[in-house]
Amino acid sequence: HIPTASIAKMITAYVTFNALRDKKVAVDQKDKVSPATWTKWNNMGSTMFLHSNESVSIDNLLFGVLTLSGNDASVVLAEGVHGNEAAFVAEMNIAAKKLGMTNTRFGNPNGWPDGGKTYSTARDLATLAQAIILEHPKAFERYFSQESFRWANVTQANRNPLLGAIE
């Protein structure tokens, strides 16, 4: 078992892609950044630089999660897709189980250190990556390939060091 760190954001995306596919949410749905979420995640590690009470589309939140590795964007997305962070994390674990990720457990949507609650294995993470590519190829192409993303007048490069390195 290894801590997932920001790789946990892959299952956050997968759960969101499933919700989009199942029409539980829409890419243009706007979710509000709650003051509590802003207070907790403002400038905590990687960030999208969201503002309290700002409304942000799921589309932009996905870019914030997958291009910027935004911890704030991950939590706002979780709250918007499943109503609250705990319900979203429960769905993350259900999805992991359905995929056969038997050595994985998620404790939050962004991979922030949580005292060992979140862990996985390289094999399980490869299973997740394959599921994203095969089940959601258009979303994979759209959200995992951005070289940079601009939000709040800040342009940030993609945090994936392999992007563009392998052809």
Residues marked as catalytic:
6, 9, 69
Q: Which residues are bridge partners to 40 per DSSP?
A: none
- In the chain, the amino acid numbered 113 is P
Q: Rg of the chain's alpha carbons, rounded to an integer?
A: 15
Reported in sequence order, the residue ranges of 18-72 that DSSP labels E, i.e. its strands, are 30-32, 55-57
Q: Which of 16, 6, 14 is nearest to 131 (CA)?
A: 14
